[in-house]
Structure formats: C-alpha cells, structure tokens
Structure 1
Amino acid sequence: MQQRTIKKPVEVIGIGLHKGEPIKLRLEPLDVDAGIVFYREDLAFSIPLSPASVIDTRMATVIGSDKGFISTIEHFLSALYAYGIDNLRVVVNGNEMPIMDGSAISFCLLLDEAGIARQEAPKKIIRVKQVVEVEEGEKFVRLSPSQSAGFDFKIKFDHPVIGEQDHTFGFGTHSFIDEIARARTFGFAKDIQYLQSQNLALGASLQNAIGLDDHKVLNPEGLRFENEFARHKILDAMGDMMVTGHNILAQYDSFAGSHDLNYKLTSKLLSDSRNYELVAVEALQSRAFAKSFA
C-alpha cells in the first residue's frame, strides 16, 4: 500500500464555529513523507501536525504556537484518517477550521472532489505494541494491540435524549462514510448562551450542530442516527488519533473520553518506543488493514 495525497487542489468556504466568520479552506497535494501541514495564510506560517503542536483541548483540539493557532481540527482530521491521507497542505485564512454541518461528511466530499493520488513510497502506520491507557476518574481512553483497527465508545449523559449510548465501529473508508461521517457535534442551549456571552460559539446554529434543551432535540429534522451522539464521539476520536500524523493499527476503547484525554493518550503513546512501532503496511501480518482503505 502506497502513501496518499490528493490529485489536485480544492477549496471551500464555511463558517467558523466560534467567531462566526467565513473561513476559506484550501487543500493542496504534498510530496511523499511531507506529512500533514497546516498553514495560516493570513499570518504566513506553518503548523506541522503532531501532539507537540497541540496547545488547547478544552472545547476542541487546537494546534499552534505563540505565532497563532488553528482550532477545531478534529472533524476534518477524521476524514483524513478515514481516507488514509499521509501528505497534505491545509491552508486556512483564520484561526479555526470551518464547521460545515458539524460532521465530517463535507470534508469527505471535498476529498472526493480532489481525488486520491497514490504516491511512490510505502504507507507507514503506527502499530500499537502494548496497552496504553489514560484515566480520569471513571473516564478513560485506551489503545490496545490488534490485528484490525476498531473503535468502541460509550457515553453517559444525564439527559433524556442521550442517556447511555455506545457504538462499535470496525474501521474502513466506506463504513466510515456510512456509519460515522454524518454524525454531528452537539451542544446544550444553556451552554451556547453562556459561550456566546463570552464571544465564543458565535457561529453555532442548528445548521451545524445538534441543539438540545433540557428535554428534547431542537433540530426540526431530528437525529440522523438513534445513537448519533456516540457516533460523533468516535468521529472526534478518529480525528484526535490523526494528530499523530498516521493511521493507527489498534483497538480504541473509551468511556466518556474527551479531546483532552485523547491528546494525553497520543502523547503517552509516542513518549515510549516500547508502546508502538512505525511500520509499512506491507510488513503487517494481516492484510485486512490495507483492504479497509479500498
């Protein structure tokens, strides 16, 4: 299996979740072994994708430095993870990614428009060699060695619509599009009102999130999946794992995980070479992982 980039540049304009302003996103091909590189066009500086670039995880995954930052990258990164993109320049003209409809499906469509180019170098992935786990009270995130990539996420909210939910996802590009990509982010009306008073979430609306009051879903169209909330948590987790810059061959399990716990998990994973190895897909004993990108 070869490394992947896109065949041609593509761009789209969408609203930023927090500032509520138009954001232009442009994707450009990069050569082999270049990795995923974000570029703030308005500030003329690059941010390489890695856990070392993460500077905030309170409300989203944010990368940057004292020169500037880019927020809410996780939905976009989940699409890159699903499509197996290794090398890409991600150009934005503001401090956040466009939120689109609150899911990853618009980014999948953008990648489809660009087309996927196979490159003349073997694709390398992170193979997890031993269990790596981060806990916070009853909450946890965990990566375990596995011959296939999977995600299992459980959540529990004191809300009549959400309650206890879980979803198990066997990784594959097409199954991602069918099961995960359209699952939207969600927020509670009372929290949105507070955030907007702090000049945050100014772009939030029922067009880019599931809104909930104390009793019900506020979106007239309702939910896309019965357990859309748990599915979106898998979408987030995939994006947060992609912060490593590679697909990961492991089983991911979580109860009530968060961007912060996911960041701590990838940092812990890469902090000790006994936890993982970077290996060409062809060197894997199982061929199922390569087929999941077909």
Structure 2
Amino acid sequence: MQATIKSEATFTGVGLHTGRLVRMSVLPQPAHSGIRFQRRDLENVAPVAARHDLVPHSRLCTKLVGDHGFEVSTIEHIMAALAGCGIHNALVQVDGPELPILDGSAAPFVRGLLKAGIQRQAAMIQALEVLKEVRVEDGNAFAMLSPADGLEMDFTIDFEDAAIGHQRRVANLANGRFVRELCDSRTFCRRADVEMMHEAGLALGGTYDNAVVVDGSDVLSPGGFRHADEAVRHKMLDALGDLALAGAPILGRYTGMRAGHMLTNQLLRAAFDTPGALRRVDCTDAQAARLPGVGVKSADLAHVA
C-alpha cells in the first residue's frame, strides 16, 4: 500500500552551495499526491511536483525548477530518504532556494522521517516496470536501465585520487537495505574541486563536517570515511534520489558507470521517450515487497552514523 508520514518532520541546517541557514519540513499528504516541493518564502506560488522533466542541466546537484521564479536545489538526499523509507506522498516545504545539507548524507532525513512515523494508506502502490534496456552515455560514463524483478543497482566509480580509486557495489534495495547500508554515506569531493567551486561562488556551506574531502591518497575530513567504499555508496544514494523523480518506484536494474545527476536524469528522459520501455503497474503484494522501504523500521538505523 502507498504511504505518507504520520506527523510533520522538521530539519534545519545550511545549504551546501548557498551557505544560508534554511528550515524545511516534510508534511503528510493524501494518497496519489506524490512528492511535491513548496517554497514558503515565495507568495502565491503553488507546490511543484518532484518530476525529472522539471530538472535542468546540472552536474553538482539536482535542482527542481517551476514557474514564477520557483527553484529548489540539492533535493537528491531527501528524495533518496523518502524513496528508501517507502514514502510515496509528502509535501516538502522550505524557506529558501536550497535544502539543508545536514551531515552530507541522507541519514538525518531518514531518522527524522522514521521518528515522525510511516502511515500506510488505502491505495495500491503504482510502480514503473522496466520492460527493455535503455542506455545513455557521456564520454566514458554511462547509465542504464534494464528489466529486473525489483530495484537493483550496480554502480562503479573510478577516481584518480588514491583515497577513492576504483570502487564497485551491487545491491538489491528491497526491505530496508538502503537504510542499513547506504543512507549514512556522505557526499564527497576532491580538494581541487572545492577550490574551483569556491571561486565560482559555490559550496559556500561546505565543511569537513558535511562532506568528505580527499586530496590524492589523503582524506582531509576528521575521522575519514565511514565505510571503505563510502564514495560509491553515496553515488548509489544520489542515484536512488534522482530515480525517484520518475514519479513512482522503479522495478528494474540501474547500472551506472561514472554516472552523476545529469546522466541519471538523461536516462529517465530517454526511458520515458522510448516506446515500450516502461509500463505503469499496480503492484501486487509480491512486487511491493521488492521495493525500497517496505518493512523499514527504526532498528535499521541502529548501526549507522
């Protein structure tokens, strides 16, 4: 069955790129509402649906753009948390143009959502079943969707910095695996990239507390990585959040090779534009049991940061 949250969940922190203090809330919504975003600081501007076709070209984060000057950036972590907790209907309200980065992972969002409680609703889950392979490429990077019984991920990254290097992880995201294995993995970057972003007026809210910064073989953030393969885990976290912009859970296998926000968005666009690639289905109990978030419980967070 579809789900929302039982009560409001509130989060406060700085935006990664703007550096501005921001407050956001996630509110319950009726069945079939989907996920929507609303800017509290913009008067008479309606909430905007979290849809892949409202995301402009962007490499550093996922931004949602609507009419009348509406935009909200860095939505990928809350989208991953909502998808990973099996929440299909919610309104995300924010009082600025960017969501708080918190610790750089989705764990604080997951913790807040589970504390608010998950409310099952009297409506069947609608999912998008992948019927045939769709692939997009950008140089030596690619992203692909192919048929599978549930949501599976196969992600590979390859960085010249020895602190990250070559990493690959494969996971079936059913039954709380996102919460247990991926949600606490933080965003990461190279020291040279930080300097470049600062010169461009970006990453103004970035600190060693909300991102893992590497320089060659050195990890500059205190405490180092939470997992030996935290970097590829975070890439999978981002991919789940970006895939959630399809507007429904995906029954299929996502394969990413050096993929990022932009390539995953292009993949969704290609999938929707390819006749016969996707089919919307009312999930049977067996299909629903293979989706992220089904059966998630607070105990799943017990061992993460």
Using structure 2 for the length normalisation, give the TM-score: 0.92
State the distance in 1 between where 2:291 and 2:250 align: 12
* Correspondence for 2:59: 58
CA drift of 1:179 comes to 1.0
CA drift of 1:27 comes to 0.7
* Correspondence for 1:289: 290
Q: How does 1:195-274 map to 2 (within 5 A)?
A: 195-274=197-276
State the distance in 2 between where 1:148 and 1:198 align: 41
CA drift of 1:68 comes to 2.4
* Correspondence for 2:112: 110
Aligned residue for 2:222, secondary structure, equals coil
1:54 alignment partner AA:
V
State the distance in 1 between where 2:262 and 2:196 align: 21
* Correspondence for 2:2: 3
State the distance in 1 between where 2:176 and 2:156 align: 22
Q: Does 1:48 align with 2:49?
A: yes
Specify every segment of 5 or more residues in structure 1 that has no aligned partner in the other structure, as ranges: none
Q: Is the 8 A contact 1:82 1:173 kept in 2?
A: no
State the distance in 2 between where 1:223 and 1:255 align: 21
1:88 alignment partner AA:
A
* Correspondence for 1:194: 196
Q: Deviations over 1:165-204 (max 9, x none)?
A: 1111111342212210111100122221221222211100
State the distance in 1 between where 2:214 and 2:285 align: 47
**Superposition CA RMSD, Å:** 1.6
* Correspondence for 2:32: 33
Q: 1:173 to 1:12 in 2, by over 3 A?
A: farther
2:7 alignment partner AA:
K
Q: Which of residues 77, 80, 85 is equivalent to 1:78?
A: 80
State the distance in 1 between where 2:224 and 2:15 align: 23
CA drift of 1:215 comes to 3.1
1:56 alignment partner AA:
H
Aligned residue for 1:250, secondary structure, equals strand
Aligned residue for 1:55, secondary structure, equals coil
Paired residue total: 292
| Structure 1 segments of 4+ aligned residues over 6 angstroms from their partners | none
2:237 alignment partner AA:
L
2:179 alignment partner AA:
I
State the distance in 2 between where 1:241 and 1:69 align: 19
* Correspondence for 1:68: 70
Amino-acid identity (%): 34
CA drift of 1:97 comes to 0.9
Range with greater deviation from structure 2 (111-120 or 48-57) = 48-57
State the distance in 2 between where 1:78 and 1:154 align: 19
Q: Does 1:137 align with 2:143?
A: no
* Correspondence for 2:16: 17
Q: Is the 8 A contact 1:281 1:290 kept in 2?
A: no
Q: Is the 8 A contact 2:83 2:293 kept in 1?
A: no
State the distance in 2 between where 1:32 and 1:133 align: 32
CA drift of 1:219 comes to 1.4
State the distance in 1 between where 2:288 and 2:84 align: 17
Specify every segment of 5 or more residues in structure 2 that has no aligned partner in the other structure, as ranges: 296-305
* Correspondence for 1:121: 123
CA drift of 1:132 comes to 1.0
